[in-house]
Amino acid sequence: EDQVTQSPEALRLQEGESSSLNCSYTVSGLRGLFWYRQDPGKGPEFLFTLYSAGEEKEKERLKATLTKKESFLHITAPKPEDSATYLCAVQAATDSWGKLQFGAGTQVVVTP
């Protein structure tokens, strides 16, 4: 059974204090790993898709990396506006309908 585990559950950072979020996954063949950002009371917003081990994607202060068993979301010099819950999801190679398995998320709070 596909499984996605995110850690830590919550992270409190000072503005400018870089850190990483972890997403460990178990899937019988990976089609894609997705990162989403979710603000309180809103729907998830797409950030990145990673397809193969060694791949990296960047967007502003966020950088996502992928290995065969986990993905990291690095937040460099975060600002208060980076406060959100970050969700990781995987799509199995056997699926072509967009069926995603989500982790529970990491809640990030960045204080000034």
Partner 1 sequence: NAGVTQTPKFQVLKTGQSMTLQCAQDMNHNSMYWYRQDPGMGLRLIYYSASEGTTDKGEVPNGYNVSRLNKREFSLRLESAAPSQTSVYFCASMPQGASYEQYFGPGTRLTVT
Residue type, 18: S
Tokens of 107: 């809640």
Phi, psi of 84 (to 5 degrees): 180, 175
As a whole number of angstroms, the distance between CA 34 and CA 102 comes to: 9
Nearer residue to partner 1 within complex by CB, 49 or 76: 49
Is position 31 an interface residue for partner 1 (rule: CB under 8 A)? yes
Listed ranges 18-26, 34-42, 54-62, 63-71: which one lies at the site for partner 1 (CB under 8 A): 34-42
Q: Scan residues 63-102 and list those touching partner 1 (CB under 8 A).
A: 87, 89, 91, 97-100, 102
> Where would I find the beta strands (DSSP E) of the chain?
3-7, 10-14, 19-26, 30-38, 45-50, 56-59, 62-66, 70-75, 84-92, 101-102, 106-111
Distances (CA, A) of 64 to 13, 23, 95: 18, 10, 23
Q: Report in angstroms how near the CB of residue 79 gets to partner 1 at its nearest.
A: 24
Q: Which segment (18-26, 28-36, 59-67, 73-81) binds partner 1 by CB under 8 A?
A: 28-36
Binding range to partner 1, per CB under 8 A, among 11-19, 31-39, 59-67, 68-76: 31-39
The contact set with partner 1 (CB under 8 A) reads 4, 31-32, 34, 36, 41-46, 49, 87, 89, 91, 97-100, 102-105
